[in-house]
Structure 1
Amino acid sequence: MNSVQTIKESSKELKSVSSLTGTALLMALKAVIAQFTIAVSNVLEIGFSSVVTGVCGLYYGPVLSGIAGILADTIEYILRPSGPYFPGFALNEFVAGFLFGCFFYKQKEISWKRILCAQLSVTCINNLILTPLWLSMLYGNTFYALWIGRIGIQIIRFPIDFCLLFIVIKTVSRVRPRH
């Protein structure tokens, strides 16, 4: 299935009560997991709630997962504010949900290569481009300084994030929600 077909198919999930309910449950789970995020500094947090975004992308596709990402980010901020609210981070969550949905939605078999590409895309776009951009806008640090600092962190985090996403996606892909 190509990207345009994937997006069209995923749009149909917006009309399904069971899809909306499942997405709401995953958003709640994501909000709970996000409460265990560790704030290292005002520009670095370590958390693993993005795995739930991957599951949402697998089950409900890029459109609903992207929208759920925006809503979940807002709910997470309300439950646990850290710094000023900035809509750019909601955009990050949309991008993560959308990308995971594009890579995983309605795939018969999800290979480790597909999971690797999905995680690499989210890491590069969100963690190495958008997040340093938002942080530089919020705190006045230079983009380059934030970007350099994040590269080392992402080199360490990427294998952990990939392994966790791989285990969860391979496990839950065996059980698809019924519509």
Structure 2
Amino acid sequence: MNKKLTVNNLTKIAILAALSVVLRRFFTVTIPVNQKIGVGYMPIILSGMLYGPWFGGLTGALADVVGMLINPDGVFHPGFTLSAFLMGFGPGLISFYLIKGDIDYKINIKIILSCLFTFMIVRLLIDSIWLQQYSKNPYWIYVLRRIPKQAIETILNSVILRIIAPRIGKYV
């Protein structure tokens, strides 16, 4: 992992953040109960896995702020920006400090753990805190209502990341 913020790394982070904004804002499927399913967080996870926790977190925060400026889908809340930071930071920690190496089965474990952290911890549990602050409904209503959606997104993103991560990883 190159810990310096070079122009090359900054360009790659900006491309992944822009890809996340486009996928998240324009290429999602809306299901009943006004919930969206998509692969918009995949570039953020990939950034953390390829470039480390800090660059992954920067990618997530940048994607959230730019996406909110371009096409807002609600009121800005800094908690969601923190969540977006954690979506890149967590997979970076998993990939660079918990599970080292690029052996094929380790890549599978990295992807599964990164997606579980991102979608079940950050998106399900932490984002439910921010949603609860908006409406004052009980926290567990948001958690229980979002479990099926997060399970589908976890599986979908894990499969897609398993297909593209080894192909992209060799160019980094």
Normalising by structure 2, report the TM-score: 0.85
Cα distance change, pair 172–134 in 1 and its aligned pair in 2 (3 A): same
Q: Which residue of 2 aligns with 1:148?
A: 144
Q: Could you tell me the percent identity over the aligned residues?
A: 28
- How many residues align? The count is 166
Alpha-carbon deviations, 1:40-61, whole Å to 9, x = none? 5787332211111122113321
Q: Which residue of 2 aligns with 1:85?
A: 76
Q: Which residue of 2 aligns with 1:5?
A: none
Q: Which residue of 2 aligns with 1:19?
A: 9
Instruction: Give matches, 1:98-137, under 5 Å.
Output: 98-105=89-96, 107-109=101-103, 110-137=106-133
Q: Could you say what the CA RMSD is over the residues aligned between the two structures, in angstroms?
A: 2.1
Retained in 2: the 8 A contact 1:23–1:56? yes
CA distance in 1, matches of 2:7, 2:93: 21
Alpha-carbon deviations, 1:49-97, whole Å to 9, x = none? 1111122113321111102211110100111111111111111111010
Deviation at 1:155, TM superposition (A): 2.7
Retained in 2: the 8 A contact 1:13–1:20? no
Match of 1:94 among 85, 100, 113: 85
Q: Which residue of 1 aligns with 2:24?
A: 34
CA distance in 1, matches of 2:117, 2:62: 21
State the AA in 2 paired with 1:135.
Answer: L
- Work out whether 1:68 is the aligned partner of 2:59: yes
Stretches of 4+ aligned residues off by more than 4 angstroms: 38-43
Cα distance change, pair 90–107 in 1 and its aligned pair in 2 (3 A): farther
CA distance in 1, matches of 2:64, 2:33: 17
State the AA in 2 paired with 1:13.
Answer: K
Deviation at 1:154, TM superposition (A): 2.2
Q: Which runs of 5+ in 1 are unaligned?
A: 1-8
Deviates more, 1:40-49 or 1:54-63: 40-49
State the AA in 2 paired with 1:157.
Answer: E
CA distance in 1, matches of 2:34, 2:79: 14
Deviates more, 1:154-163 or 1:35-44: 35-44
1:45 is paired with a residue of what secondary structure?
Answer: strand
2:102 is paired with a residue of what secondary structure?
Answer: coil
Cα distance change, pair 124–103 in 1 and its aligned pair in 2 (3 A): same
CA distance in 2, matches of 1:55, 1:122: 11
